[in-house]
Amino acid sequence: MPPLAGLAPALIQRARADQVAMAFASWTRTTASMLLGGVLLAIAMWGQVAAAWWLAWFALIAVNQAWRWRLACAWRRARPGPAALERWGRYWALGSALGGTLWGLAAVVVFPASEPHQALLIVCLFGVVLGGLNLTAVWRPSFYGFVLPALVPLIVRVAWEGDRVHLDTAAVLAVVLLFVLAFGHRVNDLLTQALAIRHENVDLIAELKAQTRAAVEARSAAEAANRAKSQLLAAASHDLRQPLHAVGLFVSALSARTAEPDARMILARTQQALDALDAQFGQLIDLSRLEAGALVPSRTRVPLAGLFTQLVAEFAPQSEAKGLRLRAVRTRLAVDSDPALLARVLRNLVANAVRYTGRGGVVIGARRRGARVVVDVVDTGVGIADAHRERIFEEFYQVRGAAAPRGRGMGLGLAIVRRFADLLGHAVEVRSHPGRGSRFRVVLPRVDDLRAPLPPARLPAPCGANGHALAGTTIAVVDDDPAAIEGMRSLFLAWGAEVASGRDAAEALAALGHLARYPDLIVADLRLDEGASGLDAVARLRDELGVAVPAIVVSGDLSADAARSVRSAGLALLPKPVVPAALAAAASVLLAQAPARADGARIA
């Protein structure tokens, strides 16, 4: 296949333009080659013609090269584009043709009588042509313009002698000339191909750079969109959880005040619907934050005892409603993980276990395995067939069957478990037998567990007139959402507690002044109006009261940063919507651990 086959005409035209430029740039080497060849020919043929003839011949060579030098200077000044290619190429080819003609004229004029000198003349002319082949073959018209006028007169002059030897010599020289022409033509084609491919590569590189720039710009736009998405999700996580939080509190308060069975059943169904809505909303938020890369783990020492207690308190109402037994095995073990993300992993596992268990129970436990700790969530539910064992961790995948509940969830819980576990570097294992239950296991690094307290065998015993542990206490509530404040007030009043509330610390202090009592517990929202923080509100209340009042922070922001800031302040964190049972359990534990004060302590 010819070297130029398959190349676009536009690329060949650009390559030809480069060849013309290369020819003009070779003026210095072309002139040196012409002068050196002329000196060698004069030395070889000295005495064959008069010296005046050689001087005249050299003068013509010099004039031609001087003209070509002026032409090269004009080329550099003009910097012509591809459109002027043919015109400037013809100028250079004309100079080559004049030079070749001068060499051909020398071959005819100085052709010697002696055969040794004839052979020497042939060698000199062919040597000049072949020696300058790399210069003349750059531009094809220049190549033909030099070679043919230089060698054809020599071949004709040799044949002119007429004898058999000279005719044979002329024939051989003609064949050599054909080879020289073919070789020069091939060299020019290869050079054209190389230059065209170089231009093609340059175009491809430019296109690649443009695509890379476009990709970088698209990536920057995507990253900006992801950042905006993360900020939107953070705001949505807080703002959309607020009404769910308030509704859940009102439902629980109403349930505590209602004794009529049908009404309690309706309220229980309402609470179940709210729990399902909260779970699905939380899963969508988690998945979106994972996709946006907005989750950055903050690893620390996590005692498992408190986490297990919180999980049992949170899912106790659902378990009791289904007649299931939910318990956690007491443990002193602690692990290295992110507390918020690990809680989310275990919460999803326990939620799945309760959902897919119709009778029996769910057990949460932990045990050592060398330098690791395995946390097990074991249920006596429907189990999982081998065919679904790996697919259950795929997003939106749900096992459908007679034993599986229909119309519940979106198939995201276990997918988020796997994604969170991978983010934390924790392994997740599953063993299951259809009809007998499942064991989900999370393998975590173990840390020193000597300081981890053993959790109480049961929550603090209820007390007070209405049988609730918070009866007779005073609760300070700080929240910027009036609905959330009223929900908290209704719930705590239903539990027999007094409530002093406010949108910030100042209003809460004023409300406490009206009650003329120190609070036994502070419940504050993490994010308040105008960028204020519930952590600052707790700190101010404690400072104004002069007492380190136990405090719980509630938040719809479930990011690692939020959890880290609350943990750094040494406070308990409950996610919104707050599960009333989890709120009661956490409050009871904090009140049980708080230093005793004189009953009925009043603000002076």
Per-residue confidence (pLDDT) for residue 290, from 0 to 100: 62
Cβ contacts of 96 within 8 Å, gap of 6 or more: 136, 141, 142, 143, 145, 146
Higher confidence at residue 404 or residue 390? 390
Q: What is the mean pLDDT of residues 340-360?
A: 87
Residue 555 per-residue DSSP state:
E
Q: What is the mean pLDDT of residues 511-531?
A: 86
Per-residue confidence (pLDDT) for residue 406, from 0 to 100: 46
What tens digit of pLDDT does each residue of 237-284 get? 666 666 766 676 777 767 667 767 767 677 666 766 666 666 666 666
The first and second tokens of residue 227, run together, are 């950042």
Residue 311 per-residue DSSP state:
H
The domain 244-294+469-604 belongs to what CATH superfamily? Response regulator (3.40.50.2300)
Rounded alpha-carbon distances, angstroms, from residue 394 to 303, 344, 414, 416, 439: 30, 17, 8, 9, 18
**CA angle, 91 as apex, 86 and 94 as ends, to 5°?**
120
Higher confidence at residue 215 or residue 37? 215
What tens digit of pLDDT does each residue of 298-348 get? 788 889 988 898 888 878 878 888 889 999 999 989 999 988 788 888 988
Centroid of chain to Cα 92 = 56
Per-residue confidence (pLDDT) for residue 278, from 0 to 100: 65
What tens digit of pLDDT does each residue of 474-494 get? 999 998 888 888 888 888 888
Q: What is the mean pLDDT of residues 462-470?
A: 52
Centroid of chain to Cα 120 = 74
Q: Which one of 3.90.230.10, 3.30.565.10, 3.10.20.600, 3.40.50.2300 gives the CATH number of domain 300-458?
A: 3.30.565.10
The first and second tokens of residue 176, run together, are 């050599």
Rounded alpha-carbon distances, angstroms, from residue 173 to 45, 353, 396: 20, 98, 84
Tell me phi and psi for residue 299, to 5 degrees: -80, 145
- Whether the per-residue pLDDT at 289 is higher than 90: the answer is no
What tens digit of pLDDT does each residue of 405-458 get? 544 555 567 777 888 888 888 998 888 888 888 899 999 999 875 554 555 444
Per-residue confidence (pLDDT) for residue 458, from 0 to 100: 45
Q: What is the mean pLDDT of residues 592-596?
A: 69
Cβ contacts of 601 within 8 Å, gap of 6 or more: 517, 518
Q: What share of the chain has pLDDT > 90, as a percent?
A: 9
Using CA atoms, how far apart are residues 524 and 508, in angstroms rounded to an integer? Answer: 10
Per-residue confidence (pLDDT) for residue 481, from 0 to 100: 84
Per-residue confidence (pLDDT) for residue 457, from 0 to 100: 43
- Identify the CA nearest to 60 among candidates 99, 21, 28, 116: 99
Q: What is the mean pLDDT of residues 348-360?
A: 88
The first and second tokens of residue 404, run together, are 């599986």
Residue 576 per-residue DSSP state:
S
Per-residue confidence (pLDDT) for residue 604, from 0 to 100: 44
Using CA atoms, how far apart are residues 100 and 110, in angstroms rounded to an integer? Answer: 15
Rounded alpha-carbon distances, angstroms, from residue 170 to 371, 419, 440: 95, 86, 97
Alpha helical stretches, state H, 132-163: 133-136, 140-160
Q: Which helix (H) or strand (E) holds 437?
A: strand 437-447
Domain ranges of the chain: 9-208, 244-294+469-604, 300-458
Find the helix packing angle between 339-355 and 261-291, rounded to 10°: 130
- Whether the per-residue pLDDT at 362 is higher than 90: the answer is yes
Question: pLDDT averaged over the chain?
Answer: 79
Per-residue confidence (pLDDT) for residue 546, from 0 to 100: 86
Least confident stretch, 42-46, 324-328, 349-353, 436-440: 42-46
CB distance 75 to 127 below 8 Å: no
Strands in 306-426 per DSSP E: 325-328, 334-337, 361-369, 372-379
CB distance 497 to 471 below 8 Å: yes
